[in-house]
Amino acid sequence: MNFRFNALLAAAILSSGGAAAGPKEDVLGDFARCTHIAAKAARLACYDSLAPRVKALTAPPAVAAVPPIPAAKPSAAPPVAPPAATAAPPPPVATAAPPPPEETAGPESFGAEELPQPEASAPTAEVDSITAKLSGVTLSPLGKFTVVLDNGQVWRQLGGDSQLARFKEPAGANTVTISRGLFGSYNLSLNDTGTVFKVQRVK
């Protein structure tokens, strides 16, 4: 066994290249001399004597320990700039007080007869129901009527009323009845036909 082991070690040395000088060359020379020993016991003893030197030559070189790389220190956060001071609001600008309103002449400065009189609003019917003959009828382009009663009152059909009236000729042949409706409205019925028209008094 020692012979085989020593022979393998020698073969490893030979396979690594014989051009190297120094201890390896000396071991190879001694190994060559051992091979020429005829006596088996002496030859084995020669191989055994070379075994420590062969092991030393075939041992891998020691790898130097690499010192660990120190961990990078966290970079310090950049300094935060202090908030910029806000400018103080400008002082309020004093505005001149508006001039007092000019005095205007009141009603007492001139006679009541000189005051402009407001337009008279359309009179409202003072009765809940009235029946009268017609003295006149006019129709608008849209067919809405305006009637004049024989007592002088004037009534007009509302624009939102969709009913179309059919009057007899002449106007005096028509009889209308006007009565109060809901919420202050007025209804006009023509010649007792049962059709009701929404009207308002204009005179």
Is residue 48 domain-resident?
A: yes
Residue 79 lies in a domain: no
Output b/e per residue, 157-175; b: 16+ Cβ within 10 A.
Answer: beeebeeebebeeebeebe
Distance CA 170, CA 174 (A): 8
* In contact, 59 and 24? CB cutoff 8 Å: no
**Last residue of one domain, picked from the residues 58, 74, 105:** 58
pLDDT tens figures, 95-108: 666 665 554 444 43
Domain of 20 in residue numbering reads as: 2-58
pLDDT tier, 169 (very low <50, low <70, confident <90, very high otherwise): very high
* Average confidence (pLDDT) over 54-66: 67
According to the model, what pLDDT value does residue 100 have?
59
Q: What's the chain's average pLDDT?
A: 74
Residue 113 lies in a domain: no
| Position 123 pLDDT exceeds 60 | no
Q: Look at residue 6 in the predicted model and tell me its pLDDT.
A: 52
DSSP one-letter code for 159? T
Give the C-alpha separation, 187 to 53, whole Å.
140
Q: Is the pLDDT of residue 64 over 80?
A: no
Write down the residue that tokens 């059919």 correspond to.
Answer: 166
Task: Return the pLDDT at 178.
Answer: 95
- Is residue 43 in a domain? yes
Residue 36 lies in a domain: yes
Tally of structural domains, the chain:
2
